[in-house]
Chain A
Amino acid sequence: MYDSGKIIAGLMVFLVLITSPAWYNVVSGKADYRPDPKLPAEQKECVKSAEYMKAFHMDLLNQWRDAVVRSDKRVYGDIGGRTYDMSLTSTCLSCHANKAEFCDQCHNYLGVKPYCWDCHVEPKEKM
């Protein structure tokens, strides 16, 4: 093989460069970073179970949106017999009042950019 030294050295450099972000995270201690959404202190129960909300909150929000906007239905009843006003701003955000500490935690980690906040007003951060 001609120039094997140069080729292997080049490949090594290439591998190091392409994996450098992973190495950087390991060295700087960010490799085991996990999003940590802060749960509201006062409220323990959400509209649905935490497992359901983690996986399907976006579907639920879409259902609520369609029900309110399209069918003019505003009350959501869950299995436990409780009812909720189907409103992102009045219901969800009344407990999850801090967008940066709750929504953004996972959304930023996963690079998801929901367009809710283009129009819906996020609560003012409590200073």
Chain B
Amino acid sequence: MGVDRREFLKIAGLSTLLGLGGKATIEVLSGTEVEASLSKEPQGGKRLAMVVDMRKCYEKENCRDCMEACHRVHNVPHIDNPRHEIKWIWTEPYERTFPSQGHEYTEERFAGKPFVVLCNHCDNPPCVRVCPTKATFRNPDGAVVMDFHRCIGCRFCMAGCPYGSRSFNWKDPRKFIQETNPEFPTRMRGVVEKCNFCVERLDKGLQPACVEACKDGALLFGDVRDPESEVRRVLRESYTIRRKPELGTMPQVYYVV
């Protein structure tokens, strides 16, 4: 004789209890803040941030200076297949950049127009929280960076990032790099990559490659904690919006529209 009805119900009840015992469930039921919404104040005084002034960016349609500079400096492969493409800085239509903003009667100058997007170097980065090997981490200055040596290619970070700022190397990227910059490593198949706020250039006292390449001054970069910095000046003078702030990731790329 197998399991009778009474015994089945007992097992089912116990399994439900055990299932509910998961950490996340306890967090939700106990009414305290869930782990995902907790963020640690960054250590150190600096906080790097970027301002994208779309008013200046609109002026030049089809300009790709920032993207080309970034991808050249960091050996980012150019793959046409959108399922395999690698993105550090790219464009998204307005509706996908600010999904909670667009509506039926969105102004013509925004509707469907490309917006420059990149990693938001969040104050509360979900990609860092979910990375099982700590390959993705935050520098004290707030930049969310990667240790490619440690990445096992599990792609949790890609699922975690609400901005699509991470790309996975499905193929050996070296075949898709036209001109290799020997100063920066390429990646290998099976590794995730993302914008690194040009940490290697900041150490040399340079501006990020995209900021340097933008001749129209549409990209501004600096320490948002410094009241005298240029980013703060723009934040003071213009109304800025951020991508999906409702998710609580506290993105540090600001848009003037």
Number of A-B contacts defined by CB within 8 Å: 29
Asked whether B147 lies within 8 Å of A69 as measured between CB atoms, the reply is yes
Known: A70-B147, A72-B203, A74-B203. A121 touches B186 (CB 8 A): yes
Residues of chain A within 8 A of B182, CB atoms compared: 89, 121, 123
Contact code string B189-219 (vs A, CB < 8 Å = 1, else 0) = 0000000000100010000000000000000
Q: Which of the residues B137, B145, B149, B183 comes within 8 Å of A89, measured between beta carbons?
A: B183
Q: Which of the residues B75, B180, B199 comes within 8 Å of A72, measured between beta carbons?
A: B199
Residues of chain B within 8 A of A118, CB atoms compared: 188
CB distance from A82 to the nearest CB of B (A): 19
Distance in angstroms between the alpha carbons of A92 and B72 in the assembled complex: 23
Asked whether B180 lies within 8 Å of A121 as measured between CB atoms, the reply is yes
Distance in angstroms between the alpha carbons of A69 and B199 in the assembled complex: 10
Q: Is A99 an interface residue (CB 8 A)?
A: no
Interface residues of A in 106-126 (CB under 8 A from B): 115, 118-121, 123
Total contacting residues, chain B, CB less than 8 A = 17
Contact code string A84-119 (vs B, CB < 8 Å = 1, else 0) = 000001100000000000000000000000010011
Q: Which of the residues B139, B148, B149, B185 comes within 8 Å of A121, measured between beta carbons?
A: B185
In the complex, the chain B residue whose C-beta lies closest to that of A70 is: B147
CB distance from B88 to the nearest CB of A (A): 16
Distance in angstroms between the alpha carbons of A65 and B199 in the assembled complex: 14
Q: Is B187 an interface residue (CB 8 A)?
A: yes
Asked whether A119 lies within 8 Å of B139 as measured between CB atoms, the reply is no
Asked whether A119 lies within 8 Å of B148 as measured between CB atoms, the reply is yes
Known: A90-B183, A118-B188, A120-B185. A65 touches B203 (CB 8 A): no
Residues of chain B within 8 A of A120, CB atoms compared: 185
Distance in angstroms between the alpha carbons of A65 and B185 in the assembled complex: 12
CB distance from A38 to the nearest CB of B (A): 20
Total contacting residues, chain A, CB less than 8 A = 13
In the complex, the chain B residue whose C-beta lies closest to that of A119 is: B185
Residues of chain A within 8 A of B187, CB atoms compared: 119
Distance in angstroms between the alpha carbons of A118 and B189 in the assembled complex: 9
Interface residues of B in 51-67 (CB under 8 A from A): none
Residues of chain A within 8 A of B180, CB atoms compared: 121
CB distance from A95 to the nearest CB of B (A): 15
CB distance from A92 to the nearest CB of B (A): 12
**Residue of A70, A74, A118 ringed by the most chain B CB atoms within 10 A:** A118
Residues of chain A within 8 A of B188, CB atoms compared: 115, 118-119
CB distance from A71 to the nearest CB of B (A): 9
CB distance from A28 to the nearest CB of B (A): 37
Residues of chain A within 8 A of B199, CB atoms compared: 72
Distance in angstroms between the alpha carbons of A89 and B145 in the assembled complex: 20
In the complex, the chain A residue whose C-beta lies closest to that of B172 is: A118
In the complex, the chain A residue whose C-beta lies closest to that of B150 is: A69
Distance in angstroms between the alpha carbons of A108 and B148 in the assembled complex: 25
Known: A74-B203, A121-B180. A69 touches B186 (CB 8 A): no
In the complex, the chain A residue whose C-beta lies closest to that of B199 is: A72
Distance in angstroms between the alpha carbons of A121 and B180 in the assembled complex: 8
Q: Which of the residues B75, B149, B181 comes within 8 Å of A69, measured between beta carbons?
A: B149
**Residue of A72, A74, A89 ringed by the most chain B CB atoms within 10 A:** A72
Q: Can you list 11 residue pairs at the A/B interface with Cβ under 8 Å? A: A72-B139, A72-B199, A89-B182, A89-B185, A90-B183, A119-B187, A119-B188, A120-B185, A121-B181, A121-B185, A121-B186
Known interface pairs A69-B145, A119-B148; 4 further A-B residue pairs with C-beta atoms within 8 A, sorted by A's residue number: A69-B147, A89-B182, A115-B188, A120-B185
